[in-house]
Amino acid sequence: MQYRNLGRSGVKVSTLCLGGMTFGEADSTSMMHGASSSQAEAFAVLDHAVAGGINFIDVADVYGQDGLAERVLGDWLVKTQKRDDLVLATKFRFRMGPGLNQTGASRYRIMRTVEDSLRRMKTDRIDLYQIHAQDLEVPEDELLRALDDLVRAGKVLYIGCSNYAAYRLVESLYTSEQQRLERFVSLQAQYSLTVRDLEREHVPACLRHGLGILPWSPLAGGFLSGKYRKDQAPPAGSRYDTERWKKSLDRFDNPRNWQILAALDETAAETSQSVAAVALAWLSQKPAVTSVIFGARTVAQLDDNLKAADLTLSPAQMTRLDAASAFEVGYPYEFRGRLTGGRW
């Protein structure tokens, strides 16, 4: 396992981060119903992840019903006494119950969500506290002031954002600088061979301002795991074999995505690694990426993904995957590229 600084902060995290969206058996009200694991399975995955060198775990208050993922993680921390060996990240923003102020990122709400997450995870501090998505109804300085107060109180050590528009991210960093408030050290966002939109604005912004990118869904919801093939039914027992998820596979059925899988197959054969490990390694080697967040329902899935930590792709292999996953950057990026010889 390799370790990198989280953005421009001093804390070091593993280049692979275990995502906890699958922790605990989610009921039918959860988006993870039918794709989650029992507490015993989650404990086994956590044990193996830490044994494999992972020191970075990411959850959110909204994962599972009533903070299920945080509660499972808290129980495991008490059982193993591993709290001081790990960097724990969680998120807030989305609705956690009925009522006007049970959603959003107001100061009023943040002061409650942090206490709820601390209680569920059975810890005295959150190492990385992230807003799960921007809240256009809350001024950014109100959000940052609340988070700054939590850092000063020692309840939060670092702050980050997730699913932010690039303009909002830069506005937030400017506000932090002007008002001398804590600034985001990381951006958690969707990023994979199938979804590279982040490269238009977010990657340059993060490189310029020193934020570490934490990609989520690096295997495109399992599509890049190597299980799924063109014109073939999903394997029995896989996520997309369930009624809840079957139609979701249709969105990947296009020439570009099958081209990506073909390039992954070729690279996997060259490296004697799995398709999933190659997809994770490609992302880990992209500019500004600090740690790639992946989920695992079983120890077998975890062990397969952990192989990416020790896999370094050659420049030729990176170029092959970049070319296979090339996407239309649109205006004004294509226009600028014509003027600068390909640079956006």
Residue 249 scores a pLDDT above 80: no
Strand pairing class (56-58; 16-19): parallel
List of domains in the chain: 3-228+274-311 (3.20.20.100)
In the β-sheet with 126-131, what is the strand arrangement from edge to edge?
A: 212-216, 184-190, 156-162, 126-131, 87-92, 56-58, 16-19, 292-294
Task: Kindly state the DSSP code that residue 161 receives in the 8-state scheme.
Answer: E
Instruction: Look over the chain and give the mean of its residue pLDDT values, rounded to a whole number.
Output: 93
With residue 57 as reference, give the H or E element that holds it: strand 56-58
Q: Is the CB of residue 16 less than 8 Å from the CB of residue 306?
A: yes
Q: At what angle do helices 315-324 and 275-284 cross, to 10 degrees?
A: 100
**pLDDT digits over 276-312, tens only?**
999 999 999 999 999 999 999 999 999 999 999 999 9
Q: Which residues carry out catalysis?
A: 63
Query: At 65, is the pLDDT very low, low, confident or very high (cuts 50, 70, 90)?
Result: confident
**Are the beta carbons of 325 and 260 closer than 8 angstroms?**
yes
Residues 6+ apart with CB under 8 A from 236: none
Q: Show Cβ contacts of residue 145 under 8 Å, excluding neighbours closer than 6 positions.
A: 107, 179, 181
Task: Examine the pLDDT at 246 and tell me if it is beyond 90.
Answer: no
Q: How confident is the model at residue 245 (pLDDT cuts 50, 70, 90)?
A: low
pLDDT over threshold 80, residue 232: no
How far, in Å, are 25, 34, 91, 100, 139 from residue 95 at the CA level?
Answer: 20, 21, 12, 10, 19
At residue 250 the predicted structure's pLDDT band, cuts being 50, 70 and 90, is confident
Q: What is the pLDDT of residue 321?
A: 98
DSSP-based three-state secondary structure for 259: helix
Give the 3-state secondary structure of residue 101. Answer: coil
Percent helix, strand and coil across the chain, each to the nearest 5? 45, 15, 40
Q: Where are the alpha helices (DSSP H) in 183-314?
A: 202-209, 255-271, 275-284, 299-306
**pLDDT of 241 above 60:** no
pLDDT digits (tens, 9 = 90+) for 115-161: 999 999 999 999 999 999 999 999 999 999 999 999 999 999 999 99
The pLDDT of residue 342 is 67
**pLDDT over threshold 80, residue 10:** yes
Residue 184 bridge partners (DSSP):
159
Q: Concatenated DSSP letters for 106-158?
A: -HHHHHHHHHHHHHHHT-S-EEEEEESS--TTS-HHHHHHHHHHHHHTTSEEE
Supply the pLDDT for residue 253. 84
DSSP string, 282-293: HHHTSTTB--EE
Name residue 5's beta-bridge partners: 12
**Average confidence (pLDDT) over 313-338:** 94
Has residue 195 got a pLDDT over 60?
Answer: yes
Rounded distance, CA 306 to CA 16, Å? 8
Q: Are residues 57 and 73 in contact, defined by beta-carbon separation less than 8 angstroms? A: yes
